Amino acid sequence: MAEIQSLARGLKILNLLEQARDGMGTTEVAKEMTIDKSSASRLLHTLANYDYVVQDDSSARYQLGPRLLTLGQRVLDRISLRDRARPFLDKLVDATGECAHLAILAQRQALYIDQVESSAALRVESEIGTLSPLHCTALGKAMLAFGDGAMPDSLRPFTQRTITDQAVLQAQLLQIRQRGYAIDDEEYNYGVRCVAAAVHDHRGLLLGAIGISGPAGRVTLERIDDFGALVRQVAGDLSAKLGFVAGC
């Protein structure tokens, strides 16, 4: 499978710009990619011609362009699961007072495709579009448990509690299948606990997962199983609405 080099380079530049907080200059891009300034310049111009990047008027630095926003939104629109799931996310927020999320599998990670905030006052940056590892998030583990059996390649630790042993993970996935919900007990971010359950389509295939997340102070270990039962119930209702018949 031969790659088209210049296209690949262009896409790599977009990946670079994603990281850069406030843009990158031509020379900077060239250095990072270990290509010549002139090549970087021409690639960036081509990207700019199609609005995939924009150059700041004053600083002449390049940033990701509005075209990506448009295209990204198209990806979202195509995921009808998102529309169907929204009322169920609202339900979770109403019942728990915590944030609710919807994710699907993409690039062997959990791709957040919707989010409902618990309080409009406390507004955080949207996590929609972000990718998270599967082995240490509730949404991810719920999808692993009911997925096609493919395991993540590496169990990278993020906190002290992150599961790094395949056997331990396998055991927990079995438990998740039995209980119907997955828990992330500060395994990804300190001070944050999450509960999630898988969503299935009419053929029983895994579609994604929904869940809630909140500060460990509110989502306590005493309450977490109640939350689990709730999330499992709501995820089941959603699956049912999508035509999934439990026990099939």
Q: Which stretch binds DNA (CB under 7 A): 31-39, 127-135, 138-146, 229-237?
A: 31-39
The SS3 assignment for 216 reads: coil
Does 167 participate in binding DNA (rule CB under 7 A)?
A: no
Q: Which entry of DNA, its own copies, none binds 122, CB below 5 to 8 A by partner kind?
A: none
CA distance 125 to 24: 22
Q: Which entry of DNA, its own copies, none binds 73, CB below 5 to 8 A by partner kind?
A: its own copies
Does 47 participate in binding DNA (rule CB under 7 A)?
A: no
Does 55 participate in binding DNA (rule CB under 7 A)?
A: yes
CB of 224 to its own copies, least distance (A): 28
CA distance 143 to 132: 12
CB 141 within 8 A of CB 151: no
Instruction: Calculate the alpha carbon distances from 170 to 48, 152, 173, 219 in Å.
Output: 47, 11, 5, 25
Q: Among residue numbers 63 through 102, which ones bind DNA (CB under 7 A)?
A: none
Query: DSSP class of residue 24?
Result: B
Q: Among residue numbers 9 through 28, which ones bind DNA (CB under 7 A)?
A: 9, 25-28
CB of 185 to its own copies, least distance (A): 27
CB 67 within 8 A of CB 29: no
CB of 200 to DNA, least distance (A): 24
